[in-house]
Amino acid sequence: MLIVIPGALPSLPVAAELARLLPQRAPVLHGWLQAAIAQVEAFDARAQGCTPFEAWQLEQAGYRPAAGTPIGAGLGPLLAGPAVTDDQPVWLAELAHLSLGTDQATLVDPDLMDIREDEAQALLLAARPSIEGAGFGVTALAPQRWRLTLPDDVQPRTASPAVVSGRPLRDWWTQDAAMRPWRRLVNEIQMAWYEHPANEDRAARGLPPINALWLYGGAATWPGATATGHASAEAAATPHLFTTLDAAHRAQDWAAWLDALTQLDTQHLRPLGGASGLPTQPVQLILLGADRRATLTLQPRNRLLAWLPAPKKNWNTWWSRPV
């Protein structure tokens, strides 16, 4: 049995404190951590252009990046799904909101945007002249996402919105000359969308305006990539994918994270355990964070050993410390 939990590994500054609360808030998971053999890997989201969870989804979909290509490039074909019918690079433009602070800009979590199809169509109509005039092409895939074709001289290296959101944009908005056409285009689109009726309607609904596009992806499709698409690829990858921690983890809302963890422990993990709380069948448990991935292996104990106290692993050595 394979169980995958995105957002299960908290940020290192708070990991030790949350570890102290784990026996009370998530006793089943705590017992599994004590019993499991763990293999922990660091993950450089900046270099790979995606989160560890997105990387895992791409692995399950059969994507293997070419040498020198970040894993996150595969998100283009994966998220575009059946709409891709060619072998060209698949670049995605996420409709986004850039929040401007006193000293930095940040990308708002795309899951909070709640973009309707009618407003996306209206914004595309306003942006299309600038997009095509700059030598780009555009095809709408979903309300929040378009596919772009890029001029030959634009070869960006970017990261997914899930990686970038909430972080200072200056760390991701490259200033090299090769990206100048894209930056110029985004500026034109921002002017076209300023006080657009679609954004005025969003303001009336209490939502942030759509004021930017975020470019990512870039890989060509591979066999099987477009047959499933994003959501069904998740479903096919594992019968036990629990995403309830992910939103609180991204927001670094650790009180909400603990509440979600307690619910997950009670409703989902406890039914998979026996009288001792440990799984009654072999389990591979994949815990994902922002910068690391832990793969835990649990094997049921035979009947004779079941009567003896189980040896306990020192899981804090990897939970609360850098890999």
In whole angstroms, what is the distance from residue 224 CA to residue 222 CA? 6
In whole angstroms, what is the distance from residue 20 CA to residue 22 CA? 6
Average pLDDT, the chain: 88
236-283 residue pLDDT tens: 445 689 999 999 999 999 999 999 999 999 999 999 887 778 888 899
SS3 state at 77: helix
269-322 residue pLDDT tens: 999 887 778 888 899 999 999 999 999 999 886 665 555 556 678 898 899 887
Q: What is the pTM of this model?
A: 0.89
Spatial contact of 163 and 46, defined as CB atoms under 8 Å apart: yes
45-90 residue pLDDT tens: 999 999 999 999 999 999 999 888 899 999 999 999 888 889 899 9
179-199 residue pLDDT tens: 888 989 999 999 999 999 999
In whole angstroms, what is the distance from residue 246 CA to residue 233 CA? 18
